[in-house]
Amino acid sequence: MSIYDRAITVFSPDGHLFQVEYAQEAVKKGSTAVGIRGKDIVVLGVEKKSVAKLQEERTVRKICALDEHVCMAFAGLTADARIVINRARVECQSHRLTVEDPVTVEYITRHIATLKQRYTQSNGRRPFGISALIVGFDYDGTPRLYQTDPSGTYHAWKANAIGRSAKTVREFLEKNYTDEAIATDNEAIKLAIKALLEVVQSGGKNIDLAVIRRNQPLKLLESKEIETLVAEIEKEKEDEAEKKKQKKST
Amino acid sequence: MATFFGEVLSVYSRAVEEDDDDLDDENEDERIHREIEEKREVHIVWCPEVAQSLEDSGSNTLQCSDLIIAVGTNAAGFLSAYVLNTESWDAVGHVSLWNERSRGSSRQSIAPLPGEPACLFYRHRDNPAVLVCQSTCYIAEDQLFQWTEKVFGCLQKRGLSVMVLSDSPVAEYKTPDYLYGSAVPFLRSLKSSASKGQALCPALEQPNILTGLPAAVLSHCQVHQIPAVLYQCYTDVISPDSITMETYKPALLCLSKLVKLEPCLSADVLRKFAIITEAQSNLYT
């Protein structure tokens, strides 16, 4: 196996591109990010990385705006993400100036995915070690959520997770993403927090949340707001447990 | 030798050197070999009480019913967090050795500092037949046999049972199937034929092999018919990590029969033993 994973451009006899698959392992080393597409809102939640004591917290960000109406969260190699984000930002502005319209979420996702794919097919270069969740609203008002991975594939999702415990979070979302769960903006945000709380240790203070509402710019929630929402969720959970207990005893 | 000009010259033979030089060279070689051997010798330094018990016993051995060896930072961290965290363990000795990767103190009497890679022995106060060994330093291949012989030479063979916990990178695990991320870290076991009980996890599949100290210990136990079980944890993290340490939890079942363990462990205590390099490493976000 090892002789087929040296150069990126070599297929193995059974059709694997090992460097791309190994790049996907690098993504799993990043902390979890979750994206939820609501009716009038899109939500991105990330597990905050623990920051060194002397480090400025502001400079360790997993959620970045690509334009006023599009933002992304990534998981994987920090430096690779910076390059991808810069290229995407330039493309967003170039698009605005060239065709006088903001990019659609699909367009910018396709641009990022094409960039990533190019790096899986050139010699001497390794793939980008990041997966991205890209959310935003198109100018016709439709909310969108896309996910890209190191191989350069991209798909639209209703809700998805990437990073360290993505599988657990995705299973939670598959069970709990219902129309009534995303009925209101607040409910969609709480679903994102609930999904992250499945895998984040020590609760609300390790969660960062960003939302985009239709025709409004990106908003990063403050930690106080997140703590309030976490407290609400905890209370709901307790009420649920109480009700169950009462049901059992009657 | 005849030269071109017809004269005869006597030649020095290059085949045989003069006796004096020969002896010196040999001595020098021997001396160097001996010095290297001495430098690489493995010394076990026991605390005074244990040294006394060794002397008092006729055979220079300690009575030991259970020896638990942890090889690697995660295995050692697991034992520190789950077993050695109560106050009832005494540090009773350490192994002092030198090799290119473990430049231990050449003076044996100095105990290793906490946090340094080392090989330490602990004994339970209430049950002195239970010994724990935490080995976080690298032991070279040529020193493994010595280590095993000297350590097991201090223990009575009768009634001895050994458990080894060892870390290994998952990159060295060979399997025909693709390993999904959620499966890692995981445990595999290996037993000596004298070991009768059920292992708590699947056995190590072929063609995977053990190397290093765990292999030396298990080989010794197999040869001397000592019941021994080894739990190898394959992990994808190179530094001590709390999730990897928790993978050894099934071993607590056996350990709780030997000594009293702390009932529940808060995540904070575990995190203390996991290196906080995560904060400094900005490679992944």
The ipTM assigned to this model is 0.77
Is the model's pLDDT at B274 over the cut of 80?
Answer: no
The C-alpha atoms of residue B190 and residue A204 are separated, in whole angstroms, by 42
What's the mean pLDDT when you consider all of chain A?
Answer: 91
**CA-nearest residue of chain B to A165?**
B182
Those residues of chain B whose CB sits closer than 8 Å to some CB in chain A are 181-182, 236, 267, 278-280, 282-285
Burial class (CB in 10 A: 0-12, 13-18, 19+), A99: exposed
Cross-chain residue pair B280–A50, CB shorter than 8 Å: no
The two tokens of residue B280 are 């400094």
Give the pLDDT mean for B181-201: 85
Determine the pLDDT at residue A1: 47
Q: Where does residue A33 fall: left (phi above 0), alpha (psi -120 to 50 degrees), or beta otherwise?
A: beta
Cross-chain residue pair B279–A51, CB shorter than 8 Å: yes
Residue B275 — pLDDT band, cuts 50, 70, 90?
low
Determine the pLDDT at residue A4: 59
Collapsing DSSP states into helix, strand and coil, what is residue A161?
Answer: strand
- Of A78-87, A161-170, B77-86, B96-105, the poorest mean pLDDT is in B96-105
Spatial neighbors of B240 by CB under 8 A, at least 6 apart, are: B73, B74, B77, B273, B274, B275
Cross-chain residue pair A167–B182, CB shorter than 8 Å: yes
Those residues of chain A whose CB sits closer than 8 Å to some CB in chain B are 25-26, 28-31, 49-53, 55, 60, 62, 74-79, 81, 167-168, 201-202
Contact by Cβ (8 Å): B139, B40: no
Is the model's pLDDT at A70 over the cut of 90?
Answer: yes
Determine the pLDDT at residue A71: 95
Determine the pLDDT at residue B251: 85
- Give the single-character DSSP code of A101: S
**pTM exceeds cut of 0.80:** no
